[in-house]
Amino acid sequence: MADNHEHGAVGHIVPIKMLVGICAVLLFLTALTVWVSKLNFDTVNIGEANILIAMGVATVKATLVCLIFMHLKWDRPFISFFFLASVLFVLLFVSFALMDTHANAPAIIPGNSTVIQQKLDALDASAQAAHASGEVSDGQAAHGDHAEDAPAHDAAAH
């Protein structure tokens, strides 16, 4: 490249000081997002703005990594264009998927899927059987150690 700062180098050389500085900024931004996310229940309830702030800060961090650590600032613009195009296509992908899922949202069947419901029913049956047989064990011999921890089931109370 034409803008080499050091004679004879193949690519642009990023000074060490700049790398350390950028890393410090990245760490600061990380601490910032964590702090902002903790605001929710302490002082201010910023609610859904949290995700926007978090993603905004993440985008700034990603841009810094790309520009400095990955040398995009000094590379041919074509490479940046290429990389941004892939991000753009991911955004298109997500946007169209969101449009589709929101258009069909009312048709989504509420509740658990059949397979999961079967699992839950089996767990209930197992707990009831354990109670009915007077054993506090959950029915599996391997779990006999925790017998005293397994809560007893009292169906009559409900």
Partner 1 sequence: MYGQAKEHDHDHDHPDFLGHHWESPTQQFEAGKFGMWLFLTTEVLLFGGLFCAYTVWRSNHPELFRYGSQFLDTFWGATNTAVLLISSMTMAMAVTYAARGKTKAVIICLLLTLMGAAGFMAIKYVEYNHKFHEGFYPGLAFYEEPNASHLWQPLDETAVAHLAHDKTMDMDESNLLHAEALVRAELPEAPAEAVTWNKAVAGPGPGGLTTSHEQEQLAEFTAFLPEAFLGDNEDIAGELEFADGHAPGEAPHMAHPLQDPVRPVNAQKFFTIYFMMTGLHGIHVVLGGFMIIWLLYRTIRGEFSREYYTPIDLGGLYWHVVDLIWIFLFPLFYLI
Q: Identify residues 125-144 at the interface with partner 1 (CB under 8 A).
A: 126-127, 138-140, 142-143
Nearer to partner 1, 133 or 152 (CB): 152
Q: Which of 77, 114, 134, 158 binds partner 1 (CB under 8 A)?
A: 158
17 to 76, contacts with partner 1 by CB under 8 A?
A: 19-20, 22-23, 26-27, 30-31, 33-34, 37-38, 40-43, 50-51, 54-55, 57-58, 61-62, 65-66, 68-70, 75-76
Q: Which of 103, 108, 134, 141 binds partner 1 (CB under 8 A)?
A: 108
Residue 114 makes contact with partner 1 by CB under 8 A = no
* Cα gap 65→73, rounded to integer Å: 10
Q: Which of 112, 129, 133, 144 binds partner 1 (CB under 8 A)?
A: 112
* Cα gap 46→81, rounded to integer Å: 35
Closest CA to 13 of 76, 82, 80, 73: 73
Closest CA to 74 of 66, 82, 85: 66
The single-letter code of the amino acid at 60 is: V
Closest CA to 152 of 121, 122, 129, 119: 129
Residues in contact with 145: Cβ distance below 8 Å, sequence separation at least 6, in sequence order: none
* Cα gap 53→37, rounded to integer Å: 9
For 69, the token pair is 């650590």
75 to 94, contacts with partner 1 by CB under 8 A?
A: 75-76, 78-79, 82-83, 85-87, 89-90, 93-94
For 8, the token pair is 């004879």
CB 91, min distance to partner 1, A: 9
Size of the site for partner 1 (CB under 8 A): 87
Q: Which of 77, 106, 111, 134 binds partner 1 (CB under 8 A)?
A: 111
